[in-house]
């Protein structure tokens, strides 16, 4: 979700990465080339929250999948944890395989992308002119304004950085390479997808059903885009497929100053079916509606 960020945050992000300010990157290693080539195979794959397979990806699922299967490294499953992986890298001198971490919802790290070289990243995105796995220029206004950090987990020599986590050699489909010593499985991590939206001044309804994989936790962040302080109630409903009756699952009241954001507790979508998020303002007026479908 492309949420509106405060001007201060945008200015800070712009200082990290300005057009034409990048330095030429050194020649990439064989491991870096393997990573880049593997990532590009999935260009055009659809987006789905919580998904991680060649059939569909979300942003962190894509980065984790590529690193695991291309070079045998295990990375976090959720974007919120990427600010601590590897080591910090200079946004003006990125190297192939670096991970660009973005704040797209206004409350912290919520999106990750893989640097390809030549000023481009590849990532799985849920909104915009193109969705799914796409290649974007790092200087695109939307992305450059929301950059938080660049992290390096693969050194130019093609090895894990000191702070990177090595999962052992893997084959094309994620199986241990022949002759490789067995490694303990990575700790189980709940899939948490960050989804932000701005509450509009005038009612806004979307009929598009956003796909979510079963078992995914969605951390919703609401931002007050009305231009004035207000009290809002956020509802989450399940929808009966036969009668279209709404069954209330969650309700939360939030008081927000103009431009202020609030992160709601994550909600786990377990049961397949239709869901609706609704935000009401003064006098119960519906300001925002979003529909979701949980499907295998």
* Residues forming the active site: 59, 111, 123
Rounded to 5°, the CA angle 120-66-59 comes to: 65
C-alpha–C-alpha distance, residues 295 and 275, integer Å: 11
User: What torsion do the CA atoms of 128, 225, 144, 125 make, to the nearest 10 degrees?
Assistant: -30
Choose among 208, 205, 214: nearest CA to 273.
214
Rounded to 5°, the CA angle 65-186-265 comes to: 80
C-alpha–C-alpha distance, residues 46 and 125, integer Å: 9
Find how far residue 132's CA is from the centre of its chain.
11
User: In 130-286, which ranges are continuous DSSP H helix?
Assistant: 141-144
């Amino acid at each position: 979700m492309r949420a509106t960020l405060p001007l201060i945050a945008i200015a800070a992000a712009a200082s990290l990465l300005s057009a034409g300010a990048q330095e030429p990157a050194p020649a990439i290693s064989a491991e870096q080339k393997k990573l880049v080539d593997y990532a590009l195979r999935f260009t055009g794959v659809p987006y789905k929250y919580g998904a991680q397979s060649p059939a569909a990806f979300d942003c962190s699922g894509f980065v984790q999948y590529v690193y695991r299967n291309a070079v045998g490294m295990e990375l976090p499953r959720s974007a919120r944890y990427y600010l601590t992986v590897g080591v910090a890298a200079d946004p003006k001198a990125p190297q192939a395989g670096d991970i660009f971490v973005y704040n797209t919802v206004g409350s912290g790290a919520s999106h990750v992308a893989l640097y390809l070289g030549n000023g481009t990243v590849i990532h799985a995105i849920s909104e915009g002119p193109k969705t799914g796995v796409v290649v974007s220029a790092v200087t695109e206004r939307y992305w450059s304004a929301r950059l938080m950090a660049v992290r390096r987990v693969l050194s130019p020599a093609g090895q894990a950085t000191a702070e990177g986590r090595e999962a052992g050699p893997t084959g094309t489909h994620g199986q241990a390479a022949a002759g490789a010593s067995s490694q303990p499985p990575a700790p189980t991590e709940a899939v948490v997808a960050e989804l932000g939206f701005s509450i509009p001044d005038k009612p806004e309804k979307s009929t598009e059903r956003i796909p979510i994989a079963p078992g995914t936790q969605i951390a919703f962040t609401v931002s007050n885009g009305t231009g004035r302080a207000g009290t809002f109630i956020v509802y989450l409903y399940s929808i009966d497929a036969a009668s279209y009756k709404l069954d209330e699952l969650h309700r939360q009241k939030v008081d927000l100053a103009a431009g202020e954001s609030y992160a709601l507790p994550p909600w786990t979508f377990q049961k397949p079916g239709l869901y609706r998020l609704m935000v009401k303002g003064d006098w119960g007026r519906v300001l925002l509606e979003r529909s979701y479908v949980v499907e295998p």
